[in-house]
Amino acid sequence: MTSQGLTREGVLKDLEERFRDCIVEVFDKSPKRVFIEVKPEPLVRMANYLFKDLGARFNIASGLDTRSHIEILYHFTIEDLNLLISLRVKLDREHPAIDSLAPSFEAANWIEREMHELLGIDFNGHPDLRRLLLPDQWPEGVFPLRQDYEEWDPEAIRDRGV
Partner 1 sequence: MDFKLRALLKSPWVFHLSTGSCNNCDIEILDCLTPRFDIERFGMVLAGSIKHADVLLVTGSCNRQSVERLKRLYEQMPKPCLVVAIGECSLSRGMFIHSYNCPKPLDKIIPVDVYIPGCPPKPEAIIAGVVKLIEKVGGTT
Please tell me the distance from the alpha carbon of residue 52 to that of residue 58, in angstroms, as a whole number: 10
67 in contact with partner 1 (CB under 8 A):
no
Between 110 and 149, whose beta carbon lies closer to partner 1?
A: 149
* Helix or strand run (H / E) with residue 91: strand 83-91
Q: At its nearest, how many Å lie between partner 1 and the CB of residue 150?
A: 10
Query: 10 Å Cβ neighbour count for 36?
Result: 24
Interface positions, 6-45, toward partner 1 (CB under 8 A): none
110 in contact with partner 1 (CB under 8 A):
no
Among 19, 35, 49, 138, which residue interacts with partner 1 (rule: CB under 8 A)? 138
Please tell me the distance from the alpha carbon of residue 113 to that of residue 108, in angstroms, as a whole number: 9
153 in contact with partner 1 (CB under 8 A):
yes
**Under rule CB under 8 A, how many of the chain's residues touch partner 1?**
15
Q: Which residues touch 94 (CB under 8 Å, ≥6 apart)?
A: none
Tell me the helix, strand and coil percentages in the chain, rounded to 5: 25, 30, 50
Integer CA distances (angstroms), 42 to 7, 21, 37, 95, 157, in order: 24, 9, 11, 18, 45
2 in contact with partner 1 (CB under 8 A):
no
Among 20, 67, 137, 139, which residue interacts with partner 1 (rule: CB under 8 A)? 137
160 in contact with partner 1 (CB under 8 A):
yes
131 in contact with partner 1 (CB under 8 A):
no
Q: At its nearest, how many Å lie between partner 1 and the CB of residue 140?
A: 15
Cα-based angle 111, 117, 119 (whole degrees, multiple of 5): 90
Q: Which residues bind partner 1 (CB under 8 A)?
A: 133-135, 137-138, 144, 149, 151, 153, 155-158, 160-161
